[in-house]
Chain A
């Protein structure tokens, strides 16, 4: 033991002995230590803390002797308990063997106590019996040291006061502790619960403190408690501890175990649980509180004697107890709630199984259905389970859950078979004329109403109803035969009500997204699909599978929905982030699985007209800008012009030659004949493409729309174009527009009807977008429907000539592009390459003015093209565009400021070139098409150090990270943002500068004070000297 010199007495003593000696290994450097000590003593000790805590040496949690005592005792107790348990078990098992194989009802005495009730002889020889070799070694040491010292417990060097009182105090205290502990220990062993024992022990301690009335008080208190708590046949324990009667076990108290549930099953498990709990409580309450009390007391160095000590100790203890009790209460309540939830869930399942069985049964036979006896029994017994101990409960429920799942699977399978059989032989053998319950779905009144009236405005209370109808829709699928789901007239599945929950559950319940009714697929496929899917779900996460089988009534469905949430909150679920930022809610997560793009629904898209207007207007604006710049960059001009031309062409997805055609009038004609059908078609195409995301109701809407359009287009074969003069006038003013373009524009849109219709289209579009926002993304699973009415529509359109074929075909071919202008795509693909260079040149040109400006004020220097003032009708659409250019310009200004405008001079040629290159790169990477390909975790730029910390436990390997659910990513990114923002706020240099400023001003103040005082002195002294010199003057 003495090999290590440090250990015995701790760091300080080591330091004092070794001071000045060179040390071999790295240690806390002594001078720092000294410095710290000095500083601390001067500065901090005087402050509010009163005691210095952190300068304890780190030699370690140097345990006190009492600690060891405690650990030993602890272990001893454990081992003893174990041994007894073993003995008891073997005894009881042998006994049982002799009697019968069934578990005996166990003599009706509360079980766990019997293991702890010592035999008389064992309790007498207790200490020696349980000493293990390692402890005995220690004991020996202690004993020997005890013989040397006054007491074994005072070996610990006093930290704050070396006085004798302290030593005395510690000894006293630990002896007291020791005493109390053994008492308690014995009490516990003799059949008291911990609470009682503890109470007694505490009562004793408190009475110990005021010494005089101690004996009597203690005795009385002990006796009363004992008498109250134990059965009267027992003697008071303290004085006669060692003479506890052998049979104390049989009469050991029931009431003390009131919180222990009646044990129904294996006694062994129960005992284990009880023992375990006892250990836990033991460790938690007694040891911690006593120990804490001790350390606290130790550290109060102003305490001079024991007497003044006691109230504080008591106070602390009481506080602890209260906190403990509170926590216990909360815990038990929580547990109970959780149990109840689980039970409810189980019941739900059983009910569902029964329902399925019922419907199966009804399909098959006419006789009345008498449920599954097992289920009934289970249902009855479930209620009793809540009183089981937690562990046991868990085991039981898990087992039942498993069974139920299996059962559910088989039931479904059976139902499937029966159903298909039933369907096949519908007219013949099973022609019973009965309908199964599951088929009696009455499409709820609300839903149809809701769906026909403005679905875009969801009334807030609609969620449950929605859910109900969704499920009924699904049911219609499952119930197949009688009604085609289209006729049910239900609302599209919108899982938005579940979205939140599912997000919180980290998408664990993603399996619950049900198959959507597909109108064109045959019933057969729908049915099998759904069942297959549910089966797959069963296999995957067997938890949620059950839920996709439904019961007819709305009430049940509600319950089911609830149970979805409930189940997922299984006992150990931590809903983590809500604690972290409880009120933060992220924007709705993209419904499309692709990481690459913003969800369609999240995008702003323009109808062709406004798209065309937008892009042509843009190109003109850019032209104008370029013309302004002409003088500067004469050489770039022509090619950029051409570029613009080409780009606008691309935007329209027109073949460029059309624009090049001869006379304006001819062109306009060509265009007009060319334009209108494609817009129609395109919208059709788009609608059809949208089908993947659409739901039934939308389909109906679309269908109507289509019909209407069809009629219209037939009525007006060549729709004249809407006039757009006002737009142009408002928009750009005559000065912007080339005469050619202007004419072109005016001729393009001459029909007001068309214009209006485009508005309508837009509305319906926005509606569609609204729907798409739902979390339901399972649509793509079902995209194997036959191509809908495309062909017929095209055939019927009278104006479909050769020309119009080309765009259509191309559209059909690559179905990912919409002729509908998508703002995001447009900005990234077409706008950026044009505006980027312009902005960069502007930045170079205006470098003097934007020096040192941030993105906000830079907008005042030069404003990127914006629609802000132009067209308020389409504010939302152009918002995206405006925001985009604001961001771009801000980025350029940032870049040039950070990297190039550090020095107060103009950029050189080469610098300009490198800046141009870098800026282009940056724009492309950050804002261009590429920006979506970035790894999401890299989107936030962090410093090296922060990156290395990896705030969340996220595996840095790419493939794993990619699989993370959206919320995790957002969490991660959010964390990154947090870190970077804070890091930006506390740069070392800034802080130091600030400090320096304070320092300098203070120095000046000080200087002034000093100088003025000196001056005063100077002034004083001459006066004095003058006085001294010329006393006569004054006299005179």
Chain B
């Protein structure tokens, strides 16, 4: 009688939270127990946020009594000394909000007599509260308190953001997959199943997503951060591009279909490699997610994630090192197809081009590792040069 009771009495899940996610062995009891724990956790957080909101309101209020005017009489500043006095009387949560590091940075941004612009502090408070709230909202979708799977995030997007849109995307599920695809790509976890909530929140990508939605809802011009392309219009474009490429209409892109990608402007060998480094189906076809990855890699070429993507693509041997041979090969392919686009007057000498590219990467005999490549400032130029013809020509003719 006691035996079956004893076993569930000591659930052993949380100690290995990560394993739990894929743990098929969890039984009903354990699962419900976990749920309960998470719920309580979320409740605690929610209470904390409420408290923080209240405290910060008080803080900001008192901050507004302790300021000096800037010289134009428009901006309010609070000097460090006064801030210090205020903080001494504030609750711990507010003190945590402004650690020394942050204060120093704010001072540097303000750049005025070692004081801090009050709006900066206000915005900071707002941002933090927003992040905390988002965290609480995310918790039900997260597997545990620290990370969230792409599926969870998709659910979150379609549950929280899609209903906010006036003009809903054609397919909400694909929209969320699209947004999540970009988020995961930018967070450098393209092939991972989970992403840390910390990264997700601190990237503020969700905030941008919200802003994009807001902008689109109110017919505002999309904000600058539009680079993140979360708007429905952009989603529609991508989906349209995908469908246009999918000439046989089977829902995936085969290598032949992909040759027409962006009017064939892309290096054939690069496209070919894209299939090899992406998650493909049995027949070697790209699905929409992988396609979004590719588009994101091209769009955000200045990011680390994109640099890694391109590095993988050009690392033909797959040994984690980019060496001269590989560069030469890529350049050869690039040069072969070139005459169609470029007039004959600038014939490309492979040796020269390779040398130039080597210089660009400061390549030594051993080649360059992924890490070095990512840290290299020229990598976006490099990848553009090798991956598509328009950038190639742009670079070739930069002096003309």
Contact residues of A with B, CB < 8 Å?
A: 1, 3-8, 10, 14, 18, 23-27, 31-32, 35-36, 43-44, 49, 53-56, 58-63, 67-68, 71, 134, 138, 288, 291-292, 295, 320, 323, 327, 330-331, 334, 458, 496, 499, 574-577, 579-581, 583-588, 590, 598-599, 601-604, 769-770, 773, 823, 854-857, 859, 866, 868, 876, 879-880, 882-884, 886-887, 890-891, 893-894, 926, 939-941, 945-958, 970, 973-975, 977-988, 991-992, 994-996, 998-999, 1002-1003, 1006-1007, 1010, 1014, 1017
Q: B48 — nearest CB in chain A belongs to which residue?
A: A994
Shortest CB-to-CB span from B81 to chain A, Å, is: 5
Complex Cα gap A602–B68 (Å): 13
Structural contact, A58 and B288, CB atoms closer than 8 A: yes
B94-124 contacts to A, CB under 8 A, are 95, 97, 99-115, 117, 119-120, 123-124
Chain B residues near A980: list those with CB within 8 A: 101-102, 105, 202
B157-183 contacts to A, CB under 8 A, are 158-159, 166-168, 170-174, 176-177
Shortest CB-to-CB span from B300 to chain A, Å, is: 8
Structural contact, B224 and A576, CB atoms closer than 8 A: yes
Shortest CB-to-CB span from B390 to chain A, Å, is: 18
Complex Cα gap A499–B117 (Å): 18
Chain B residues near A320: list those with CB within 8 A: 167
Complex Cα gap A281–B193 (Å): 40
Complex Cα gap A975–B203 (Å): 9
- The CB with the most chain A CB atoms within 10 A, among B10, B72, B280, is that of B72
Binds A, one of B59-67, B249-257, B352-360: B249-257
Contacts A952-B224, A981-B128, A983-B198; A854 near B99 (Cβ below 8 A): yes
Structural contact, B80 and A886, CB atoms closer than 8 A: yes
- Does B55 lie at the interface of the complex (its beta carbon under 8 Å from any beta carbon of A)? no
Shortest CB-to-CB span from B12 to chain A, Å, is: 10
Contacts A331-B219, A585-B74, A999-B14; A879 near B145 (Cβ below 8 A): no
Structural contact, B117 and A25, CB atoms closer than 8 A: no
Complex Cα gap A948–B380 (Å): 13
Shortest CB-to-CB span from A38 to chain B, Å, is: 9
- Known: A18-B282, A866-B81, A1003-B11; 17 extra A-B contacts, CB below 8 A, are A7-B252, A60-B287, A68-B249, A323-B166, A579-B215, A583-B119, A585-B119, A586-B109, A587-B75, A854-B100, A855-B99, A891-B100, A948-B374, A980-B102, A984-B99, A988-B196, A995-B41
B347-387 contacts to A, CB under 8 A, are 374, 377, 380
- Does B345 lie at the interface of the complex (its beta carbon under 8 Å from any beta carbon of A)? no
Complex Cα gap A594–B108 (Å): 15
Chain A residues near B252: list those with CB within 8 A: 4, 6-7, 59-60
Structural contact, B158 and A54, CB atoms closer than 8 A: yes
Shortest CB-to-CB span from A580 to chain B, Å, is: 5
Return the contact of B113 from the options A575, A602, A984, A1010 (Cβ within 8 A): A602
Binds A, one of B260-268, B301-309, B310-318, B325-333: B301-309
Return the contact of A584 from the options B123, B188, B227 (Cβ within 8 A): B123
Structural contact, B224 and A859, CB atoms closer than 8 A: no
Contacts A4-B252, A61-B171, A604-B113; A977 near B105 (Cβ below 8 A): yes
Shortest CB-to-CB span from B219 to chain A, Å, is: 5
Binds A, one of B32-40, B336-344, B391-399: B32-40
Structural contact, A3 and B37, CB atoms closer than 8 A: no
Return the contact of A945 from the options B188, B204, B239 (Cβ within 8 A): B188
Structural contact, B119 and A996, CB atoms closer than 8 A: no
Structural contact, B288 and A882, CB atoms closer than 8 A: no
Structural contact, B204 and A979, CB atoms closer than 8 A: yes
Structural contact, B123 and A44, CB atoms closer than 8 A: no
- Does B135 lie at the interface of the complex (its beta carbon under 8 Å from any beta carbon of A)? yes
Structural contact, A3 and B202, CB atoms closer than 8 A: no
Chain B residues near A599: list those with CB within 8 A: 111
The main secondary structure of chain B at its interface with chain A is helix
Contacts A880-B114, A995-B145; A986 near B135 (Cβ below 8 A): yes
What sequence of 0s and 1s flags, for each residue 38-55 of chain B, a beta carbon within 8 Å of any chain A beta carbon?
A: 101100100000000000
Complex Cα gap A52–B219 (Å): 30
- Does B273 lie at the interface of the complex (its beta carbon under 8 Å from any beta carbon of A)? no
Complex Cα gap A950–B100 (Å): 24
Chain B residues near A945: list those with CB within 8 A: 187-188, 199, 304
Structural contact, A588 and B70, CB atoms closer than 8 A: yes
Chain A residues near B220: list those with CB within 8 A: 579
Complex Cα gap A584–B124 (Å): 10
Q: B102 — nearest CB in chain A belongs to which residue?
A: A981
27 A–B contact pairs at CB < 8 A?
A: A5-B282, A6-B251, A7-B285, A24-B282, A26-B191, A31-B22, A32-B22, A53-B173, A68-B249, A295-B171, A331-B219, A576-B223, A588-B75, A598-B112, A599-B111, A769-B71, A823-B113, A855-B99, A868-B81, A887-B80, A887-B107, A950-B303, A987-B198, A988-B198, A995-B37, A996-B14, A998-B40
Chain B residues near A43: list those with CB within 8 A: 35
Structural contact, B304 and A947, CB atoms closer than 8 A: yes
Structural contact, A587 and B281, CB atoms closer than 8 A: no
Contacts A891-B104, A986-B197, A1014-B2; A59 near B281 (Cβ below 8 A): yes
Q: A766 — nearest CB in chain B belongs to which residue?
A: B71
Shortest CB-to-CB span from B179 to chain A, Å, is: 11
The main secondary structure of chain A at its interface with chain B is helix
Structural contact, A288 and B170, CB atoms closer than 8 A: yes
Complex Cα gap A81–B342 (Å): 34
Q: A877 — nearest CB in chain B belongs to which residue?
A: B113
Structural contact, A59 and B287, CB atoms closer than 8 A: yes
3 shortest A-B CB distances, which residue pairs? Answer: A948-B304, A7-B250, A576-B224
Complex Cα gap A866–B79 (Å): 14
Structural contact, B101 and A986, CB atoms closer than 8 A: no
- Does B24 lie at the interface of the complex (its beta carbon under 8 Å from any beta carbon of A)? yes
Structural contact, B124 and A981, CB atoms closer than 8 A: yes
Complex Cα gap A454–B282 (Å): 81
Complex Cα gap A31–B193 (Å): 13
Contacts A8-B250, A604-B113, A995-B37; A986 near B202 (Cβ below 8 A): yes
- Does B231 lie at the interface of the complex (its beta carbon under 8 Å from any beta carbon of A)? no
Structural contact, B167 and A323, CB atoms closer than 8 A: yes
Q: B288 — nearest CB in chain A belongs to which residue?
A: A60
Shortest CB-to-CB span from B77 to chain A, Å, is: 7
Shortest CB-to-CB span from B176 to chain A, Å, is: 6
Q: A18 — nearest CB in chain B belongs to which residue?
A: B282
Complex Cα gap A987–B99 (Å): 15
Structural contact, A587 and B117, CB atoms closer than 8 A: yes
Structural contact, A940 and B105, CB atoms closer than 8 A: yes
Structural contact, A25 and B279, CB atoms closer than 8 A: yes
Structural contact, A5 and B74, CB atoms closer than 8 A: no
Complex Cα gap A987–B199 (Å): 9
Chain B residues near A854: list those with CB within 8 A: 95, 99-100
Return the contact of B77 from the options A334, A587, A949, A955 (Cβ within 8 A): A587
- Does B57 lie at the interface of the complex (its beta carbon under 8 Å from any beta carbon of A)? no
Structural contact, A998 and B41, CB atoms closer than 8 A: yes
Complex Cα gap A882–B114 (Å): 10
Structural contact, A883 and B114, CB atoms closer than 8 A: yes
Shortest CB-to-CB span from A568 to chain B, Å, is: 15
Chain B residues near A773: list those with CB within 8 A: 71-72
Contacts A880-B114, A981-B124, A996-B14; A54 near B154 (Cβ below 8 A): yes
Structural contact, A1002 and B36, CB atoms closer than 8 A: yes
Q: B116 — nearest CB in chain A belongs to which residue?
A: A587
- Does B201 lie at the interface of the complex (its beta carbon under 8 Å from any beta carbon of A)? yes
Complex Cα gap A896–B248 (Å): 65
Chain B residues near A577: list those with CB within 8 A: 223-224
Contacts A61-B239, A998-B41; A1010 near B102 (Cβ below 8 A): no
Structural contact, A941 and B101, CB atoms closer than 8 A: yes
Contacts A8-B250, A602-B112, A977-B109; A1010 near B9 (Cβ below 8 A): yes
Structural contact, B173 and A884, CB atoms closer than 8 A: no
Structural contact, B111 and A602, CB atoms closer than 8 A: yes
Structural contact, B281 and A25, CB atoms closer than 8 A: yes
Chain B residues near A68: list those with CB within 8 A: 249
Shortest CB-to-CB span from A352 to chain B, Å, is: 30
Shortest CB-to-CB span from A905 to chain B, Å, is: 24
